[in-house]
Structure 1
């Protein structure tokens, strides 16, 4: 039987998409030479509200994979073939689009005869023009390795349930494992942020390059994937726990928000250095966890309420993958007109307007492409599947008018 949809996952994906689009719009404006300090500080403050975006996508990928496949017999070849079609084919197509989009506006591209295809091949491994596409390569590693993760998860779960005489409940032991894993992950982030940059000078190839591009590796994000597995295995317990700890996650978020802002201001000079708040830093990990759990708890509290903003987040989350693929191209297009302008004193407003235009345009393109043939290979959505989903959504909406909402998820 088809498993019930977990509504807050799609809504949380919508929030994560909005956060990432805001991050990239901020990066477009905050480093301009004519920016004034008030705008720079305000953009930094907004930036620290968006840190949860990419790790939340990793968390949701883990949750969805374990939720739908934890009890199924895996045909690895068919599983990988489907994921390559859903994820890697759109990545290749959009890598080509970004590679061409940057070069067709360069006169040397037309005068040089044969284009440099070697640079396109490099883009397939180290995306530069489509700077955001690194995430697709990173998340694909989790899909390739998923059968191993699933085997490990089953082994851990069997071990947790095999000792009925333990003084700790299964939930308490699971929490202990999460805390231990979090401590290990913080150590990894500490090494990455403070130590590994010096290691690259001591190592030969290919190890130095692997360290240099370590942010492209699943190893740097495995903890969020683990949390997704825990959430998928006990959705109701996860909902209850995130709502129970909601006051604490709000407090931790506020404290870390103040600290990260101070840390960037202290470490920056004339230009704000947003790299101080990189994902691969222990203090950033704390605010990411606080934000992600806070938003999950809030969405879980509101999941039985038919609110307009929840329907909007659900729609955004549904088309977020295609929107993610195309949004940088929209930012490039806007920047083509804004970079020649003198925007001193207007960078905050320009960023907010650019963000709004990017969101509407990127999601509109994703929605439009999802209704065309071959939509699976452009935005990762099957046209027939989403027609069926929209029909089911309409039916379920009509049903909710007649009876109370279901608590099955």
Structure 2
């Protein structure tokens, strides 16, 4: 396959295409590893289970990276104000697919107890407290509003102070849920405690602030990445080693991206990937395809994994690869086929396009000054 030429596309930020692709693959691998751990919990050797578990931890930068990407694109695309119709468009292309997939996941997860009451409860939980794989969209919408209210102030405030304050808030918030035992004041309090550590924006605010300033000062950031490239290359290995060590020591016990140490690991991975793919002139079609289908993959991949059964002929490593590749392929195929219908994008999300500035998800009427942007 011939690489896609990016030359002449001045509006394209090539490293973000790579970041979106890598983050998408990381999220899928997390769930592929989880599927394998569940399927082989009683048959695989302890060292095999440990290695798959550590692989899962190494992929935890995926979801936070999407927070960074979302705000980076907003800050870079709209330096002054959000365009007219911004929220209307996001409701159509993000919130409606979120609701659609929340219903689909509720049905799929209740096949054993296929009753209207069970499905209804799951639908309510999925939509309002993010009790499904697509919870990420609730977080993104919080940051859309935060961007609307804060972007003018963030341009005036001192960057170092804001970044430090957001890091402190993020760490304190996650630290509370990482190390404090859940209060048991009422039934299901542990479940509510667990979900509340995920959904409010406080647990992700540093990625938002980092994305804002990187988007606003994109060229400056690129120069700094080159200047500190030795540190940029070393940081992912060091921070990952710390993540794996602390997880092995069960400190904290939370095996998710909502850990304090993941903040530093994710930041290191973002900058390392941005450095590696800066000023790319071409992109492999497979990378572009995964990036373009990333939203559909994100929404649907866990649905296919839910129905995977153990394959006795495969060990846990090959099974993980099969689940990983199959779910990506099925997600792309379903997203492609469903988008053949004009309402398909409201179910499985739309397919991004390389044309023009679509990487930034903005149609021509939003980019053109005559429309008041």
Band of TM-score, shorter chain: 0.7 to 0.9
CA distance in 1, matches of 2:186, 2:109: 34
Question: How far apart, in 2, do the equivalents of 1:351 and 1:132 lie?
Answer: 18
Q: Distance in 2 between matches of 1:390 and 1:74?
A: 15
The offset of 1:253, in angstroms, is 2.0
Q: In 2, Cα distance between the equivalents of 1:208 and 1:361?
A: 31
Choose from 196, 210, 213 the match for 1:213: 196
Partner of 1:150: 151
The 3 A distance-change label for structure 1 pair 342 and 386 is: closer
Question: Secondary structure of the residue that 2:128 maps to in structure 1?
Answer: coil
Kindly indicate which of the two structures has a greater share of residues assigned to helix.
1
Query: May I ask how many residue pairs the two structures share in their alignment?
Result: 349
Distance 1:8 1:240 in 2: 14
By how many angstroms is 1:181 displaced?
Answer: 3.5
Change (3 A) 1:324 1:245: same
Match of 2:30 among 23, 33, 49: 23
The residue aligned with 1:290 is 268
Rate the CA distance shift 1:97–1:259 in 2: closer, same or farther, 3 A: same
User: Which one has the largest radius of gyration?
Assistant: 1
2:123 corresponds to 1:120: yes
1:306 alignment counterpart: 282
Does 2:331 align with 1:331?
no
Change (3 A) 1:250 1:94: same
- Distance in 2 between residues matched to 1:6 and 1:380, nearest whole Å: 22
TM (norm. structure 2) is 0.82
2:204 and 2:358 map into 1 onto residues whose CA distance is: 36
Cα drift, residue 362 of structure 1 = 1.2
Change (3 A) 1:286 1:68: same
| RMSD over equivalenced CA pairs, Å | 3.3
Q: CA deviation at 1:86?
A: 1.2
Q: Distance in 1 between matches of 2:350 and 2:116?
A: 37
Which runs of 4 or more aligned residues in structure 1 lie more than 6 Å from their structure 2 counterparts after TM superposition? 202-208
Tell me the SS of whatever aligns to 2:280.
Answer: coil
Which position in structure 1 is the counterpart of 2:175? Answer: 190
Q: How many Å separate the matches in 2 of 1:201 and 1:53?
A: 32
Partner of 1:375: 344
- In the superposition, relative to structure 1, how do residues 321 and 298 fare at CA in structure 2: closer, same or farther (>3 Å)? same
Tell me the TM-score normalized by structure 1: 0.75
Cα pair distance change 1:36/1:140, threshold 3 Å? same
Structure 1 partner of 2:289: 315
Q: Rate the CA distance shift 1:275–1:94 in 2: closer, same or farther, 3 A.
A: farther
Q: CA deviation at 1:390?
A: 11
Cα deviation, residue 351, structure 1: 0.6
When residues 204 and 82 of structure 1 are mapped into structure 2, their CA distance, relative to the original with a 3 A threshold, is same
- CA pair 42-208 structure 1, distance change in 2 beyond 3 A: closer
Query: What CA deviation, in whole Å up to 9, does each residue of 1:234-259 have, x standing for no partner?
Result: 11111222233232133222223223
